[in-house]
Structure 1
Amino acid sequence: MRKSRIIALRGMVKIRTSQFDYSLPKKFIAESPFTPRDSSKLMGFDTHSDNVFHEKFSDVKSFLKKGDVLVVNKSKVIPARIIFEKDGKRCEIFILKKIADNLYEVLVKPGKYFHNGSEFKVGKSISCKVENVFEDGTRMISFKSDVLEDIDYMLEKNRTNALAALY
């Protein structure tokens, strides 16, 4: 088992990187949104009984009381976990968000390979460079491609967890 380290995402509580490791069978990954949208699943937690329960999102009103705030997350998931080998070791780049064209904030492992200025070939036609290492352990990485398509287009077109294996 790999050693877990503690990170603190900007402005948030400290957590262990191992908390991001989990198995998710493909059958549980939605390929498209529910129709109608309010028929999507809703997971709740009862703080009095410490029980998790499952409902439909259309029932969310029954859980809200006067004065409650419902926060709606409209963020878009970037479907990219880039896995490659460096010096015979498995490396991973998990894209968190786009900063600018071909520039992303990412989580990496193992972190010791991803220091400021380091460059990698992550596929036949994709290379990347670590532009910055933040205090919380995240990195800013720029990508370059030898093909005409940009990285954003390749991510969207392939929608894969192992992008580098395709190029």
Structure 2
Amino acid sequence: MRVDLFDFELPPERIALRPARPRDAARMLVADGGTAPLADHHVRDLPGLLREGDVLVFNDTRVIPAQLEGRRGEAKIGATLHKRIDLRRWQAFIRNAKRLRVGETVEFPEGVSALAEARHDDGSFTLAFAGDEPVEVLLERAGTMPLPPYIAGKRGTDEQDRKDYQTMFAARDGAVAAPTAALHFTPELIAALDAAGIGRETLTLHVGAGTFLPVKAEDTADHQMHSEWGRIEPEVADRLNAVRKAGGRVIAVGTTSLRLLESAAGKDKIIRPFSGDTDIFITPGYTFRAIDGLMTNFHLPKSTLFMLVSALMGRERMQAVYGHAIEHDYRFYSYGDSSLLLP
């Protein structure tokens, strides 16, 4: 499909630079897959919008401070780690990459350094970090939170982002982008969901910086997705299959949860245990196998994520949803408001 079919005009002032406070005070636009009117709610209304027996699926990845600023000689080098290779090596997107060659060392603050070990076809590098300390320890010392460029470019980052850009479910280090739909949840909201008989499960998908990359191809068939590592435990898969068998709905909280669930499901619509990489790219025409709904923020024009929600709901329906959101002052992107999509 032509990528320009997924374009829309977004006023810059609709981009949220800070999250709502409290988190569950964010607005939420509810849409079904038909022609029913769109409904304006808040995230805290979620218990009344779902049914007893439904289950929400969260991503428990934890964002690491994967943005590094350093030097190679006199040249300034920026690095955004986006995928772990092994204990000491990460694949990274490099800013000012023309000043860095394979075999050269980048010096970062606080005594952290890394060797540019290899360059990949997409322009990214393999960085091998020096020393014996775990790379996560080095990043806590020298790195900053890797906010999306549409936020960081407007205001930079600060210490508050270390809290704001992390979900309450964060437990497993490895993401360089937050599963932002879950940023809206609070202990109070979880307690209300529990009281309403709405279940929850967790999986792990370490979100990579490739999620920020624009689609440069003119046709979706020519776009190459970056792979990300994920895991679904056997007992989680079993419980989710049981929910659907009993008539409950599996609602993915965020496109990261959705993509991993769909990667783990077969044509028989059975979710299976999963451990490994996925580069699933969902566009209109895809048949969903694992989920019955999606809670997600509002995404970039011509992005793979807007293509995904268009596959779920229909492109025309999503153009109407986004038109309503823009007209009614919804806040967009990572720190923005939410939508509940029920096909």
TM-score (norm 1): 0.50
Deviation at 1:144, TM superposition (A): 0.4
Q: Percent identity?
A: 19
Equivalent of 1:155, from 139, 143, 151? 139
Q: SS in structure 2 opposite 1:125? A: coil
Determine the structure 2 residue equivalent to 1:165: none
Counterparts in 2 of 1:88-167, with a 5 A limit? 88-123=74-109, 125-145=111-131, 149-156=133-140, 158=141, 160-161=143-144
Determine the structure 2 residue equivalent to 1:18: none
What are the ranges of 5 or more consecutive residues in structure 1 without an aligned counterpart? 1-12, 14-22, 65-69, 163-167
The one-letter code matched in structure 1 to 2:81 is I
1:109-148 per-residue CA deviation (whole Å, 9 max, x = no partner) reads: 1111233222222245222112222222222111003xx6
Greater than 4 Å deviation, 4+ residue runs: 39-48
Q: Would you say how many aligned residue pairs link Structure 1 and Structure 2?
A: 122
Q: Provide the alpha-carbon RMSD of the alignment.
A: 4.2
CA distance in 1, matches of 2:139, 2:45: 32
Determine the structure 2 residue equivalent to 1:56: 43
Q: SS in structure 2 opposite 1:135? A: coil
Instruction: Assess if the C-alpha contact under 8 Å between 2:71 and 2:106 holds in 1.
Output: no
Decide which structure has greater helix share.
2
Deviation at 1:97, TM superposition (A): 2.8
CA distance in 1, matches of 2:46, 2:142: 31
In our comparison, the structure showing a higher alpha carbon Rg is 2
TM-score (norm 2): 0.28
CA distance in 2, matches of 1:76, 1:41: 23
1:24-59 per-residue CA deviation (whole Å, 9 max, x = no partner) reads: 86xx379xxx8xxxx6476767899xx9x7832762
CA distance in 1, matches of 2:24, 2:79: 30
CA distance in 1, matches of 2:47, 2:99: 45
Determine the structure 2 residue equivalent to 1:3: none
Counterparts in 2 of 1:55-74, with a 5 A limit? 55-56=42-43, 59=46, 62=49, 72-74=58-60
